[in-house]
Amino acid sequence: MRRALPGLVVAIALLALWQTWVVAFDIPVYLVPSPLTVARTLVADAALLGRALWVTVQVTLLALAAAVLLGVAIAFAFVQSRWIEAALFPYVVLLQVTPIVAIAPLIIIWVQNPTLSLVICATIVALFPIIANTTLGLRSVDAGLADYFRLQRASRWQTLWRLRVPGALPYFFGGLRIASGLALIGAVVAEFVAGTGGTGTGLAYQILQAGYQLNIARMFAALTLIALTGVLLFVATDLVTRWALGGWHESERVGR
């Protein structure tokens, strides 16, 4: 909690500055709404924005879950066989380097179910760090421990479960932290693309609509919700990581 304090102080100071600036210079609300106006809009449009938030959160979480399942499965396949990795890795990279805005329209056309198409887009965005980190982690076995397992004639299975998997956990969670943010970005970006097709009802769609109607306050309110969702996701992954790695991992004790 004490770590959050400095950030909170800065946030309050910035909001106060912003409020003063808007009031003092009489900035019109259709250009920059004041924080208080945004807060009032959040309350007034709570039902509308709440529904949109729920859609975006759903897409994000589904995509994150899919990325974790797929990514971990692919990473396991990669470390089981160099051949599989050599065959598939180029396509994983291809997926990673192709901008999602470029493929999203295709996916939205091909996949009839709008939620599913958004989930697919967001999954593609979030997948890479999970694959890359988990593969790296499963490979980065401590050489001494690997020797020890060999000395004890551990089976391939024992070596996987007792050595490779626990050793890969910190890497996996590093990937998860990045992927959680990317899943949200993917969900929002995909919805922007889909929004023009008239299917979206998530936060991105609300931003688009508010933009057309010059309802800048509502735009800011939706933006705020997206940002808050991102922060909450980040905190949640952090908590899960700390719970899973418990007391043992170095990175989990630095400065805590």
Partner 1 sequence: MSAIELRAVEKTWENGVQALRPLDLRVERGEIVTLLGPSGCGKSSLLNIVAGLTEASAGDVSVGPDERIGFVFQQATLMPWARVAANVRLPLDLAGVARAEANARAAEALRRVGLGAFAEVWPRELSGGMQMRASIARALVTEPTLLLMDEPFGALDEITRNRLDDELLRVRREQQLTVLFVTHSIHEAVYLSDRVVVMAARPGRVVAEVAITTDEPRDDAFRVSTTFARHARDLQQALLAAARDADEALA
Binding interface with partner 1 (CB under 8 A): 142, 144-145, 147-154, 158, 162-163, 166-167, 169, 245, 247-250
Name the minimum Å distance from CB 149 to partner 1: 7
CA 21 – CA 19 distance, rounded (Å): 5
Name the minimum Å distance from CB 147 to partner 1: 6
Name the minimum Å distance from CB 252 to partner 1: 11
Q: Closest Cα partner for 208 from 191, 226, 229?
A: 191
CA 21 – CA 42 distance, rounded (Å): 21
Name the minimum Å distance from CB 172 to partner 1: 13
- Closer residue to partner 1 (CB): 97 or 151: 151
Name the minimum Å distance from CB 115 to partner 1: 38
- Closer residue to partner 1 (CB): 154 or 208: 154
CA angle 123, 125, 128 (to 5 degrees): 95
CA angle 69, 99, 179 (to 5 degrees): 30
DSSP structure string for 137-181:
HHH---HHHHHHHHHTT--HHHHIIIIIHHHHHHHHHHHHHHHHH
CA 1 – CA 11 distance, rounded (Å): 15
- Closer residue to partner 1 (CB): 2 or 153: 153
Residue 194 CA, chain-centre distance (Å), reads 19
- Closer residue to partner 1 (CB): 40 or 249: 249
CA 59 – CA 97 distance, rounded (Å): 22
- Closer residue to partner 1 (CB): 40 or 162: 162
- Closer residue to partner 1 (CB): 88 or 145: 145
Name the minimum Å distance from CB 25 to partner 1: 56
